[in-house]
Amino acid sequence: MEITLDIQDNRFNTFLDFIKTLDYVSVRKESISQWQQDEVNRRLALVDSGKMETRDWEDIKDGIFEK
């Protein structure tokens, strides 16, 4: 079974150290490929420079599910 947890940044290392002590839990680190990191950085630079605008997810979601 796999789960995803949302943990406060300031508590993450403590939590990770704890669950690593449990013999029935395995922890694997997922890596993000370099091209994905580059693309995110490129888009963030566009947003920061004002060349790309962002939209609020709630507005987009409302438009998608609107009938």
CB atoms within 10 A of CB 46: 13
The number of helix segments (H) and strand segments (E) in the chain equals 3, 0
Provide the residue range defining the domain that includes 59: 9-64
Is residue 45 one of the residues assigned to a domain?
A: yes
Is residue 4 one of the residues assigned to a domain?
A: no
pTM: 0.50
Is residue 44 one of the residues assigned to a domain?
A: yes
Is residue 47 one of the residues assigned to a domain?
A: yes
| Number of domains making up the chain | 1
Structure tokens at 62: 């409302």
Q: Please report, for residues 7, 25, 26, 30, 66, the alpha-carbon distance to residue 3 in angstroms, rounded to integers and kept in the order given.
A: 12, 11, 12, 14, 31
The dihedral formed by the CA atoms of 8, 33, 36 and 13, expressed in degrees to the nearest 10 = 10
pLDDT digits (tens, 9 = 90+) for 6-52: 999 999 999 999 999 999 999 888 889 999 999 999 999 999 999 99
Is residue 2 one of the residues assigned to a domain?
A: no
